[in-house]
Amino acid sequence: MSIESDDNTIRRLSILKGISHGSNAPAIALELGIATSVVKHEIQVMRYLRDEGLKEAEKVAFELPVNKPRTAAIAGSKRFLEMTGLTFQEKTFRNMVEFYKPELLGVIRAANQYEALMRLPKSVLKTLRNNEIINHERKNLVITAKARSQLE
């Protein structure tokens, strides 16, 4: 074994150790005293070769409480639930039922509800479907029971 391969092995192990501790490439490079681009290249090569050590190091780093991804949306939805007592989906559902109330009441009053729904613009139908205000029952579009109760 040559000295160069020993250095590469030591560098690889140091990079894996840094990744498993949750460090990023610049921090690892600073610790090793080499350029960040070298560390990034080594990591890229390890990914290309599907290095099991890299996979394990990333798995360990992900399990650290500091490195777990916490999106603003999750934090915002929890805060919204605490403030209003409703989730975003529930509040959106209520808002959409209220917004489309005249159209929905017209559909309910119609003799043939399917035809009345099909007369609505496609964009409105898509919005109603996405918010679970209408759905397919067999081959017909119908207003859901949840939406009907909200309209009363």
pLDDT at residue 59, as a whole number: 87
3-state SS, one letter per residue, for 20-39 = HCCCCHHHHHHHHCCCHHHH
Please give the structure tokens belonging to residue 18.
């840094």
Which CATH architecture is the domain 3-63 placed in?
A: Orthogonal Bundle (1.10)
Taking the C-alpha atoms of residue 109 and residue 103, their distance in angstroms, rounded to an integer, is 10
- What digits encode the pLDDT tens for the residues 10-42? 888 899 999 888 888 899 998 888 999 999 999
pLDDT at residue 37, as a whole number: 93
* Contact present, 135 and 129 (Cβ < 8 Å): yes
- The pTM of the full predicted model, rounded to 2 decimals, is 0.50
Please give the structure tokens belonging to residue 114.
């399917």
pLDDT at residue 3, as a whole number: 60
Helices and strands in the chain: count of H runs, count of E runs: 10, 2
pLDDT at residue 62, as a whole number: 80
* Contact present, 108 and 148 (Cβ < 8 Å): yes
The angle formed by the CA atoms of residues 147, 148 and 149, to the nearest 5 degrees, is: 90
pLDDT at residue 72, as a whole number: 65
* Contact present, 142 and 113 (Cβ < 8 Å): yes
- How high is the mean pLDDT in each 10-residue block of the chain (152 residues)? 69 89 88 91 92 89 67 74 88 93 92 91 92 85 90 83
* Contact present, 134 and 125 (Cβ < 8 Å): yes
Maximum Cα–Cα distance across the chain: 87
Q: Where do the structural domains in the chain lie, given as residue ranges?
A: 3-63, 85-151
Taking the C-alpha atoms of residue 110 and residue 129, their distance in angstroms, rounded to an integer, is 19
